[in-house]
Amino acid sequence: MVANPFASLLEHGDPATAAGYVDHPPRMGFFTDTSVCIGCKACEVACKEWNHVPEGGLQFTGMSYDNTVGLGADTWRHVAFIEQRKRVGQQVTGAAADGAAPAESGIRWLMASDVCKHCTHAACLDVCPTGALFRTEFGTVVVQEDVCNGCGYCIPACPYGVIDQRHGDGRAWKCTLCYDRLGVGAEPACAKACPTDSIQFGTLEELHLRADRRLAQLHGAGVSDARLYGRDPDDGVGGDGAFFLLLDEPEVYGLPPDPIVTTRDLPAMWRRVATAAALVAGTVAVSFTRKAP
C-alpha cells in the first residue's frame, strides 16, 4: 500500500511519527517567553558560534537596538526590539508620555528572540524537491547541507520568513534546533546561553503545560497583553515546535498573525492544475477539428 504522500500535511499528531519514525524520542522544541527577555542577544551569538554561521554584515538600522533585522541564512536566532508608548503590566515609569490616558502612558521596550518554528506542517519541508529538508526523529526540520541544491523553493514557502539562501554559498540555511547537540543529549546553544530562561527547551508536551501555566499566571497578574503564539495544534501549520509568549500582536514582532502552511491548499491546486491541463489538451484538440474563422 502506498502511503498517502499528503499525510504529513493533514494529520494531527506527532510529525516524527507521520514521517515514518517508529520508536522515536519525544518531540522537542522551544517555548520562548518574551516577557522575561532582556535583549542581551546571547542567543544570537551563541547560535552563530556553535553553528559557524557567518557574519551578516554591518548595518546601522535605527530599528532600536536591532541591527540584524530578521531571520535569514546568516541569522538563525534574531532578537527583535520594539519601543512603544504603552505600559508593560502596571509598570511605573517617569519616562512617560504626559497627558495621555493612563493606559497609553509610559513606555515599554519589547524584546523577543525569534527562531525557526519547526512547524508541525512545515511548508519548507513539503516543497523541497531534493529531500534536503527532512524531519528528524525529534520532530524538528533540518536542511541537509550536502543535498540542498539551492533551488530556493523553501524560501517563499515558509510562512514565517525563516529559511533563506546564503549569498556566495547558494544553499538554504536555517536553525537546525541544534540537531547535533540534541543527538548527544545536549540543550541547543541558544537556550543554553539565555541568562533569563526566556528560551526554554524541552519536550513540546511539557513546554505546552508550562506555557499554559505561565499565561494564566501573567493574566492573573494583570498582564492582559500576554498571549501564546504557535501553541495551538489546530492553527494553520498544525502548531509550532518553537512557540512563543508575546506581549503584543504577532505582526508587531514581524510574525504573521495567522500563518497557514501553503501545501494545505496543494491538493486543491493539483486538482485545478489537472483540469487546466485537460483544458489545454482539449482546446488544442478542438482547434484542430474545427475550421478556422
Partner 1 sequence: MGTSFGRGGATTFQQDLQNADCILIEGSNMAECHPVGFQWVMEAKARGATLVHVDPRYTRTSALADIHVPIRVGTDIAFLGGIVNYVIEHDAYFHDYVVAFTNAPTIVGEEFKDTEDLDGVFSGLDADQRSYDPASWQYEGGPVQAASGQREQEFDEKLREREAQGGGEKRHQPSVAAAGRGESHGSGGASVPASVKRDETLQHPRCVFQIVKRHFSRYTPELVEQVCGIPQELFLKVCRTLTENSGRERTTAMAYAVGWTQHSVGVQYIRTAAILQLLLGNMGRPGGGILALRGHASIQGSTDIPTLYNLLPGYIPMPHAHQDEDLDMFIEGASTEKGYWGGMRSYMVSLLKAWWGPHATEDNDFCFDYLPRLTGSHSTYETVMAQLDGECKGYFVVGENPAVGSANAAMQRLGMANLDWLVVRDFSLIESATWWKDGPEIETGELQTEDIPTEVFFFPAAAHTEKNGSFTNTQRMLQWHHAAVEPAADARSELWFYYHLGRIIREKLAGSTDEMDRPVLELQWDYPTEGAVAEPSAEAVLAEINGWDAEGRPLASYEQLNEDGSTACGCWIYCGVYTTGVNQAARRKPGQEQSWVAPEWGWAWPANRRIIYNRASADREGKPWSERKAYIWWDDEEAKWVGHDVPDFDPAKSPWHRPPAGATGAEALAGDDAFVMQGDGKGWLYVPSGLTDGPLPAHYEPQDSPFPNLVYPHQQRNPVRQVFSRRHNRYHPGPGQPGSEIFPYMLTTYRLTEHHTAGGMSRWLSYLSELQPEMFCEVSPELAAERGLEHNGWATVITARGVIEARVMVTDRVAPLEVQGRMLHQIGLPYHWGPNGYAKGDAANELANISLDPNSHIQEVKAMSGDIRPGRRPRGAARTALVEEYIRRAGITPETGMEVRGGR
Partner 2 sequence: MNETDVTKDGQRHVRPGREATTGVHTGPGVEHVPSAARPARGRGEQAMVPAAEFGSYYGKPIINQPVWESPDIPGYLFLGGLAGSSAVIAAGAQVTGRRGLARVAKVGAAASAALSTVALVHDLGRRGRFLNMLRTFKPTSPMSVGSWILASFGPAAAVAAGSDLTGVAPGIGAAATVGAAVLGPPLATYTAALISDTAVPAWHDAHRDMPFVFAASAVTSAAGLGMLGAPVEERGPVRLLGALGGAAELATERLMEARMGLAREAFDEGRAARYHKGAQALLVAGTLSSLTARRSRFLGAVAGASLLAGSALTRFAIFEAGLASAKDPRYTVVPQRARLEARRTRPSEGPRSNGDHPAAPPTGTE
Residues at the site binding partner 1, with contacts judged by CB under 8 A: 36, 38-42, 44-45, 48-49, 55-62, 64-65, 67-68, 83, 85, 88, 90-97, 107-111, 195-197
Span near partner 2 by CB under 8 A; candidates 12-20, 41-49, 92-100, 182-190: 92-100
3-state secondary structure of 142: strand
Residue 141 DSSP SS3: strand
Closest among 118, 120, 92, 116 to 105, alpha carbons compared? 92
Q: How far is the CB of 188 from ligand SF4 (least distance, A)?
A: 3
| Contact of residue 77 among partner 2, partner 1, ligand SF4, none (CB under 5-8 Å per partner type) | ligand SF4
Residue 220 to residue 229: CA distance in whole angstroms: 19
Which cell is 58 given? 554591518
Nearer to partner 1, 110 or 177 (CB): 110
Local structure of residue 139 (DSSP, 8 states): S
Cross-strand partners of 3 = none
Residue type, 64: S
Pick between residue 105 and residue 134 the one whose CB is nearest to ligand SF4: 134
> For partner 2, which is the closer residue by CB, 25 or 161?
161
- Shortest Å distance, C-beta 169 to ligand SF4: 11
Smallest distance from the beta carbon of 26 to partner 1, in angstroms? 23
Among 41, 77, 87, 135, contact with partner 2 (rule: CB under 8 A)? 87
Give the side-chain half-sphere CA count within 13 A for 220: 6
* Interatomic CA distance for residues 58 and 72, integer angstroms: 15
DSSP conformation letters of 218-255: HHHTT-TT-EEES--TTSTTS-BSEEEEESS-GGGGT-
Which residues, 58 to 97, sit near ligand SF4 by CB under 6 A? Answer: 76-77, 79
Binding residues for ligand SF4, rule: CB under 6 A, are 37-43, 47, 50-51, 76-77, 79, 111, 113, 115-119, 122-124, 128, 130, 132-133, 141, 143, 148-154, 158, 160, 162-163, 171-172, 174-178, 188-190, 193-196, 198-199
